[in-house]
Amino acid sequence: QVQLQESGPGLVKPSETLSLTCTVSGGSFRLYYWSWIRQPAGKGLEWVGHMQVSGNTNYNPSLKSRVSMSLDTSENQFTLKLTSVTAADTAVYYCARVEGPSYCSRGSCLWYMDVWGKGTTVTVSS
């Protein structure tokens, strides 16, 4: 059974870089997208970005200039870096495995998060 575990500093200073790691156990990296999602306190889920082993990467347009992701298949880990953070980046950050493609229609298919990590809280404060 695949399990995901987020790790990283719980406190980051404004203007610095947030760096998180997701460790995957019990499964392969191949064929999936690997995604980061965040959730500010009391608010909904916001997709940050995702990537595949192939290097195919997409980021949320609102964060694109500050986000980068990488994969280390030898360590079964993928990482998120978010630069120039502000208090608005304070949130619980989740990693997730993205399954697909399924239910294809008119050239478009569904990819969806089928396994989630438990999340890690990141606070941006001096």
Partner 1 sequence: QLVLTQSPSASASLGASVKLTCTLSSGHSSSAIAWHQQQPQKGPRFLMSLNSDGSHDKGDGIPDRFSGSSSGAERYLTISSLHYEDGADYYCQTWDKGIEVFGRGTKLTVV
**Does 90 participate in binding partner 1 (rule CB under 8 A)?**
no
Among 9-17, 19-27, 46-54, 67-75, which window interacts with partner 1 (CB under 8 A)? 46-54
**Does 81 participate in binding partner 1 (rule CB under 8 A)?**
no
- What tokens were used for 82? 């978010």
Q: Which is nearer to partner 1, 16 or 100 (CB)?
A: 100
Residue the block writes with tokens 């502000």: 86
- What tokens were used for 22? 């997701």
Return all residues near 24 (Cβ < 8 A) that are at least 6 apart. Answer: 2, 3, 4, 34, 76, 77, 78, 97
Query: Which residues are 23's β-sheet partners?
Result: 5, 77
- What tokens were used for 13? 């200073």
Among 11, 31, 87, 109, binds partner 1 (CB under 8 A): 109
**Does 110 participate in binding partner 1 (rule CB under 8 A)?**
yes
**Does 98 participate in binding partner 1 (rule CB under 8 A)?**
yes
> Which secondary structure element, helix H or strand E, spans residue 117, and what is its range?
none
Phi, psi of 87 (to 5 degrees): -60, -25
**Does 116 participate in binding partner 1 (rule CB under 8 A)?**
yes
Q: Which residues bind partner 1 (CB under 8 A)?
A: 35, 37, 44-47, 50, 58, 60-61, 94, 96, 98, 100, 102-103, 105-106, 108-119
